[in-house]
Amino acid sequence: MAIDSINTSGTGATSTKSMSKLAENFDQFLTLLTTQLKNQDPLSPMDSAEFTNQLVQFAGVEQQINTNKNLESLLTLQKSSQVMNALSLMGKKIEVTGDTVPLQDKSATFSYSLPKTAAQTIYSISDASGRTVYTGAGDSTAGRHEYTWNGKSSAGVQLPDGTYTLSVVALDAAGKQIKASTTAIGKVTGVESSDNGAVLNLGGTRVSMDRLSAVVG
């Protein structure tokens, strides 16, 4: 009897299912072994090498599943530890990488960095639907540039707090685009747990811990 393919990676539920499948296969294997031993020809006993090989395979798969379960336990503890550490950021202002900008209390602070001086730099802010709501001329010198947006559209209309997207277009003298890196600053209003660890809530804007670049206040 051959061992069925068992997936030993994934969640704890997967490991439990794998162990159940392994036990089922092993029971079938023992039943088959017992039956064959009872009915074998005494003058021509069966070769025990195949059964020995099967037992070795079962033991190897069981060990792999148990190892996987131990790793899952370690990952769960690591995620819990990350969430606990993230709780210390509650109420603090942090800087995160990416183009997501949280507008909180009618104010949003963001930055962009240029690797070299540009001939022209334009930054724009879009709402959740992708509609551009504000556009401004940015500093074109090399380095980091920080701005605070009051949450008003280009027409002067106050926009609601929420998640907005920053886009920076910087061009050199030849009209070639210069890639800008962007960050945003927001106040941590909540901490959540996900499959990948802690998630920080910045007034409704959710960012993973790996995007945290600095605590600024």
Q: Identify whether residues 75 and 98 lie together within a single domain.
A: no
Same domain for 45 and 130, yes or no, is no
Domain limits at 44?
12-87
Verify that 37 and 127 share a domain, yes or no.
no
Do 153 and 176 fall within a single domain? yes
Q: Are residues 64 and 163 in the same domain?
A: no
Report residue 78 as tokens. 């690591």
Last residue of a domain, one of 30, 59, 87: 87
Examine the domain organization and report whether 173 and 101 are in the same domain. yes
Looking at the predicted structure, is the pLDDT value of residue 76 above 90? no
Q: What is the pLDDT, as a whole number, of residue 3?
A: 36
The residues that bridge with 207 in the sheet, in sequence order, are 200
Domain edge (last residue) among 62, 87, 112: 87
Same domain assignment for residues 97 and 178: yes
Under the banding of pLDDT at 50, 70 and 90, the label for residue 196 is confident
For 177-192, the DSSP string reads EE--EEEEEEE--EEE
List 156's β-bridge partners, or say none.
Answer: none
End-to-end CA distance of the chain: 65
User: What's the pLDDT tens digit per position in 112-164?
Assistant: 999 999 999 999 999 999 999 999 999 999 999 999 999 999 999 999 999 99
Domain count, the chain: 2
Higher pLDDT, 178 or 40: 178
Residue whose pair of structure tokens reads 């603090």 in the numeric block: 92
Phi-psi region of 96 (alpha: psi -120 to 50; beta: other; left: phi over 0): beta
Q: Mark whether 59 and 166 lie in a shared domain.
A: no
Are 58 and 137 members of one domain?
no
Contact (CB, 8 A) for 152 and 159: yes
Residue 6 has pLDDT above 50, yes or no: no
Are 85 and 124 in contact by the 8 Å Cβ rule? The answer is: no
Residue where one domain finishes, among candidates 72, 87, 102 = 87
Is 7 part of a structural domain of the chain? no
Same domain, 74 and 96: no
For residue 149, what is the domain's CATH number? 2.60.40.4070
3 in a domain, yes or no?
A: no
**Same domain, yes or no: 113 and 63:** no
Tokens for 44, please give them.
């021509």
Same domain membership, residue 111 and residue 149: yes
Rounded to whole angstroms, what are the CA distances from 76 to 20, 69, 147, 199?
Answer: 22, 11, 39, 15
